[in-house]
Amino acid sequence: MAIAASRAAMKTMRRYYDLNVHAERKRSSWELRRNLGVVLMAAPMAWGQLSQHPTPAPNRAASRWAIPLNSPLSVNAVPSSPEGRDGDDARRGLDSCRSRRVTTLPGSHEFGSDFIVAMATDPDPKANHGDVVWALTADLSDTIPVQERAMYISKSTDGGATWARVLRMDSNYFDAKIGEGLRNGLSVSPGGADIVVTTQKGAFQVIPQPGALDAVARSIAGPRVPRPRPRLSRPKKVGDPIMAGVVQVTADGKQMIVGYGYFDRKPQLITYHRDDRGSWIEDKPLPHFPTDMDILSMQFDTSGPNSLYVGTGDQAYRLNLQTMKWTRITGVGPDSAIHAISLVGGPHLAACWGIYNPVSADAVKRVTDARFLLHRFTDEVGPNIRAYGIEVDRSRPNRQVLTSITGAYISDDSGESWRRVNDLPDGEYRSAHFNSDGTVIVSGLPGTFLVNPFSNSCSPRLKTRDH
């Protein structure tokens, strides 16, 4: 009964989001939380889907889905400070504890436009590209006319200090009025030969052009709406693309999985292979998905049998890509929205309400003794944090970064204890990325920052008073 009620409340919240997405971008996430408190008590996980500011016919081919899978995408982070104006300013002083604001992302720099919705790195674990990272941002502020709103793909070669625009995406690629800048996905092929981005209008392959200001983007065939859902305030038409969300490309760049669903229809995962011309060709849906809740996160794992981990609006699952059998990850609480997964050393989950450390390939344990800040204005603390992202440093697995509704947190003991990164501006943080030198990119509604929270100078110390 509780699960059914939660799912019904989730549908109510989706309709609310559709009607109020523009008003939401004008208010802070905390104002929204106060206004929606009664509804959030009925469906706690829905808040994670609300607190955001601002094609050709299918070409099907039958192919065997045997995957030389990649390691999980690493996401690296770095400390940042209030007013850095270029890469030198952003990198300067990282051995201190000050955060450095990144100001080189493209767009208007209005509220929400410097928030990195998704980051991606080369999926090849043998890649040696230094601190190369790609980012997706959504410049959708209500201060910008609808026809001028855009999303951007950018690339950094210096660990997030500076960014170069790869592609400006206008409304041909996304819906400027509904649900963008919140559930979009980003993945790259080995060497950055091409990039895949997902939006309300489906999935798109982005091909960088050397020397050109913008890349070339082309639609990837995917599922279409069979009939509209009139209860939505802006229903899609028959034949419109179903929203694409999570996306992952394999380590060899030959195959890909894209998750579809959300407002449009029951979630589904579809496999693709690359043809001789480099285009993505649709194969088939993966075996019957074990839940009808939205797909929120996805990662490949090659530490054991080739597996795909998927986080949904209620649970986490592992698909064995050899047997094509689903296994539910034990230890996850009921109705937990799994916003992010990291597989360095086992499944680490960022969820609503809490985080989980790995026990085995198919089991996790919730962290219950941590004291995260739950409500900034009342100093309430506890383990029930609404977590959006979790990243583990591949070269230093004891180091982790958690992004959440109340800020960013770090652990240097494999997730057993945590402390808040207090040098960042107050606000909601969603994504993070570890650089090779241990610095971290942290991004959220207040903007994008470079931080160095694991530096010795950032360790808490007692000050003595001279007498």
pLDDT at 236: 78
Q: Is residue 276 classed exposed, middle or buried when 0-12, 13-18 and 19+ CB atoms within 10 A define those classes?
A: exposed
pLDDT at 98: 73
3-state secondary structure of 200: coil
Assigned domain for 52 exists: no
pLDDT at 204: 97
Assigned domain for 415 exists: yes
Both tokens of 269, joined, read 């995962």
Write out the residue range of the structural domain in which residue 331 sits.
63-458
pLDDT at 60: 34
Assigned domain for 111 exists: yes
3-state secondary structure of 90: helix
3-state secondary structure 3-62: HHHHHHHHHHHHHHHHHHHHHHHHCCHHHHHHHCHHHHHHCHHHHHHCCCCCCCCCCECC
pLDDT at 289: 83
Closest residue by Cα to residue 181 from 203, 152, 144: 152
pLDDT at 125: 79
Query: Domain tally for the chain?
Result: 1
Assigned domain for 36 exists: no
3-state secondary structure 125-154: CCCCCCECEEEEEEECCCCCCHHHCEEEEE
pLDDT at 183: 87
The CA distance from 151 to 181, in Å, is 8
The residue assigned the tokens 């270029």 is: 86
Closest residue by Cα to residue 197 from 166, 234, 176: 166
The 10 Å Cβ neighbour count of residue 466 is 3
Assigned domain for 243 exists: yes
Assigned domain for 249 exists: yes
Query: For each successive 10 residues of the chain (467 residues), what is the average pLDDT?
Result: 44 38 36 33 29 34 31 29 47 64 94 95 80 95 90 96 94 82 92 94 93 88 83 75 94 94 80 95 87 92 83 94 94 93 96 94 95 87 94 95 96 94 93 94 96 78 48
Secondary structure letter of residue 239 according to DSSP: T
Assigned domain for 22 exists: no
The 10 Å Cβ neighbour count of residue 86 is 13
Angle (nearest 5°) at CA 7 between 6 and 11: 115
pLDDT at 61: 33
Both tokens of 432, joined, read 């993070």
pLDDT at 78: 33
Q: Residue 133 sits in a domain of what CATH number?
A: 2.130.10.10
3-state secondary structure of 326: strand
How far apart are the two ends of the chain, measured CA to CA in Å? Answer: 65
The CA distance from 171 to 151, in Å, is 9
Assigned domain for 18 exists: no
